Amino acid sequence: MPVFNEEGNVEALSARILSTMETLGAPFELLFVDDGSRDRTPERLRHLAACDERIRVVRFTRNYGQEAAVEALYLNARGRWLIQMDGDLQHPPEEIPKLIAKKDQGYDVVYGLRQDRQDSLFRVAASRAMQWGMRSVLEIELPDDVSTFRLMSAPVARLVAALPERRKFFSALIVWSGARIGSVGVQHAPRHAGATHYSFTKLLNHTFDLIVGFTSKPLRYIGSLGLAFAAVGLALGAWVIARKLLWDYGIMGWPSLFAAVVILGGMQLMATSVIGEYIARIYVQAQARPLYNVAERLNFDRPQGSDELQPASASPKASSSGVSATGPASAALAGPSVTRSGSSAAPAAVLAEEPP
């Protein structure tokens, strides 16, 4: 689970997941990424990790975004199956056995299809409109009612997390991987506590990441639109000249000319913006900066990771609970080896058999 300012949810969520998973009888772990929370979420997670060694935590130095949190969890998770869910309890942990039962039919990935969705009308409409546009216009395949409540085999998760691109849309990458995908209906609940962090701006950013990351069709649409405007302009020019020569009818006045300039100028700015999105992603890719920096890890065998910031004044020390005594202040980056492997959700319960 990725969490960001979820102090009112993490304890209830952990208790319900532990209760559900213990009834299944399989070994498991709970893995959190704290994506730079500014409330009491880090303290709550430290308490949980100190009370139960099956709860492991990775804490970022600041907020890096949902997709960075997902990637960190895919790369730090153990075991052969990962269950990913949100940290707000809208995905009831009691529905986890449905995903596990479905994967036994031979699926690599199982999505939980939300029944009686409890999101706002705007959120539901925007999500469905985006998915319709991706399938029908851009021909990007997405699972029906794609959500972050899903079960994945660890090889698939690590495959998509290790891809070198900087801006990822994991739901589409899972389809790209060729994994066999199934789905099962699950209940959807209102948020347990707090307010949603998923705004219209974030939805728009995810849409841009999906479009630019998986198709070049917008650039082709720009070329087609330019060709259409050029044809219309040539036709209008020929019509104006013909009227003057054949019927001695004067040229059109300035209002029509002004309208044409404004329309063409707006289209040029839109085209420049779309091209700029592609160029900006090339620029970010070329920088090759780590997608995230880790401040501390809880209940890890190796307290200090290669992607963790180390204080210059002291070497890292691990407490008895497995807390890495590191922080972002006066720090130097140790190395991006994990983050070089790779956003708008991350593994909640991991059926931890043997590490690969």
What one-character DSSP code corresponds to residue 25? T
Q: Which domain holds residue 93?
A: 2-215+290-351
Residue pLDDT tens, the chain, 356 long: 999 999 989 999 999 999 999 999 889 999 999 999 999 999 999 999 999 999 999 999 999 988 899 999 999 999 899 999 988 888 899 999 999 999 999 999 999 988 877 666 777 777 777 777 777 766 767 776 678 899 999 999 999 999 988 888 888 889 889 999 999 989 887 776 756 666 667 777 777 777 777 778 888 888 888 888 778 877 877 887 787 777 776 655 666 677 777 778 888 888 888 888 888 888 888 888 888 999 999 999 865 556 666 544 334 443 333 333 333 333 333 333 333 333 333 344 444 444 44
Same domain, 273 and 294: no
Into how many domains does the chain fold?
Answer: 2
Same domain, 152 and 180: yes
Verdict on whether the full-model pTM lies above 0.95: no
pLDDT at residue 192, as a whole number: 62
Task: Choose the final residue of a domain: 287, 313, 343.
Answer: 287
Q: Which long-range contacts (CB under 8 A, 24 or more apart) does 159-166 make?
A: 160/74, 161/70, 161/71, 161/74, 161/75, 161/341, 161/342, 162/75, 162/341, 162/342, 163/341, 163/342, 164/285, 164/340, 164/342, 165/213, 165/285, 165/342, 166/281, 166/284, 166/285, 166/288, 166/291
Which CATH number is 328's domain given?
A: 3.90.550.10
pLDDT at residue 147, as a whole number: 80
| Residue at 306 is within a domain | yes
Same domain, 18 and 138: yes
What are the angstrom distances between the C-alpha of 33 and each of 29, 40, 50, 58, 294? 13, 14, 16, 5, 10
| Residue at 356 is within a domain | no
Same domain, 40 and 112: yes
Same domain, 151 and 192: yes
Same domain, 241 and 345: no
Same domain, 248 and 174: no
